[in-house]
Amino acid sequence: MEVSPKTWFMPKGASSIAGDVDWLFYVITWMSVVFFVIITAFTIYFMFKYRRKRDEKPGLTIPLHHNTALETVWTVIPTILIFFIFIWGFRSFMDLFVIPAGAEEIRVQAAQWNWTFRHNVGGSGNESKSNNLHVPVGRPIKLHLSSSDVLHSLFIPDFRVKMDIIPNRTTSLWFTALEEGEYDLYCTEYCGEKHSKMLGRVYAMSEADYRQWVLDNAKAGTGKEIFNTKCSVCHSLEPGNAEKAPTWHNLYGRTETLKDGTTIKVLDDYIRESIRYPNLKIVDGFETQTSMSPFPKQSVSNEELNNIIDFMKSLSDYKADEANEDPKP
């Protein structure tokens, strides 16, 4: 199994199923192109060959003769091609549901408008939660998909896998990543106001790096969980509700005025700095409120910081590309 190269209209194929899916796609595409060209060419030819001449008087049409061989050809060949495509497609479809033994199982929780991935190396009990998906390269991965609210759909273009996530049901899909790297992950089922912001990343890494990552982040909570346990006393998720501290609603990307009169845009670096050193740059109007306690790495890990930022992004309408800015991951 090899990684399919990126083309001008297809992303890189970086999973075990991608090559088969791509070949089927190309066969159907080029077959459609060939038949389109042939049918169009014959249509144009017959339009000119059998058009009525200006000096031709109306009369009886030329009698048509039955051609058994020709009719057999244009019936048998398309039928064979249809069966060929059906068998190939059915085999690929079934491959997506026959999960290899020993697959690494990861639980996925979808909610408006964020992802939660629960990693657990071989059932060791060292579970790590993250807003992004981390997988080892070369090992089958089985995703258990569930939704806590509405219908969602998980799609990883580079892996050629997609599956609907239905409330009150658990669905699953599997894949094997073939190459280390970062890949995009989307929700492709409209799920409400901020559906377009329900994005994620897939980090494919070596087996050793994956195991170490799970162990290092086994106690890291998701952004929403951290907010509920450590931030909700002062902050709010509601618009305009900012009695003790700024609301997180549309906070990410917003320009705030500090107590010294300067302004700052609330992006990744400022959020990290404000959590580690909360009294360094205080927003104007909140300097008389109860001081926020610093959160060192022992209280909030770097992974949890990233999860907090991802959660804040999901609550915001800010788009970095509109301002030609690219916040650090």
Give strand pairing partners of 129.
118
Per domain, the residue ranges of the chain are 18-95, 104-216, 223-323
> What local confidence, expressed as pLDDT, does residue 44 receive?
93
Cα–Cα distance for residue pair 176/278, rounded to 1 Å: 42
Give strand pairing partners of 171.
145
Segment holding 235, helix H or strand E: none
Query: 3-state class of 266 per DSSP?
Result: coil
pLDDT single digits (tens) 184-227: 999 999 988 888 888 888 999 998 888 888 777 665 556 777 88
Give the dihedral sign, CA 194/146/109/132.
negative
295: how many CB neighbours lie within 10 A of its CB?
A: 20
Query: 3-state class of 138 per DSSP?
Result: coil
**223-323: CATH class:** mainly alpha
173 close to 96: Cβ distance less than 8 angstroms? yes
pLDDT single digits (tens) 215-274: 776 655 567 778 877 787 788 888 876 667 888 888 889 898 888 889 999 998 899 888
Query: 3-state class of 2 per DSSP?
Result: coil
Band of pLDDT at residue 62, cut at 50, 70 and 90: low
Residues 6 or more apart whose CB falls under 8 angstroms from that of 160 comprise 13, 15, 17, 18, 21, 22
Q: Is the pLDDT of residue 6 over 90?
A: no
Considering just the CA atoms, what is the radius of gyration of the chain in Å? 28
Q: What share of the chain is helix, strand, coil (3-state, %, to 5)?
A: 35, 20, 45
Cα–Cα distance for residue pair 135/187, rounded to 1 Å: 19
CB burial readout 51-61, b (16+ within 10 A) else e: eeeeeeeeeee
Looking at the structure, give the CATH architecture of the domain made up of residues 18-95: Orthogonal Bundle (1.10)
pLDDT single digits (tens) 107-121: 888 888 888 888 876
16 close to 1: Cβ distance less than 8 angstroms? yes
Q: Is the pLDDT of residue 58 over 70?
A: no
Cα–Cα distance for residue pair 223/248, rounded to 1 Å: 12
Superfamily for 104-216? Answer: Cupredoxins -  blue copper proteins (2.60.40.420)
28 close to 34: Cβ distance less than 8 angstroms? no
Cα–Cα distance for residue pair 26/175, rounded to 1 Å: 21
Query: 3-state class of 285 per DSSP?
Result: coil
Q: How far is CA 130 from the centre of its chain?
A: 15
The model's pTM: 0.60
pLDDT single digits (tens) 122-173: 554 455 667 789 999 988 999 989 888 889 999 999 998 999 999 888 888 8
295 close to 271: Cβ distance less than 8 angstroms? no
Which amino acid makes up residue 21? V
Cα–Cα distance for residue pair 268/314, rounded to 1 Å: 13
103 close to 136: Cβ distance less than 8 angstroms? no
Segment holding 204, helix H or strand E: strand 199-205
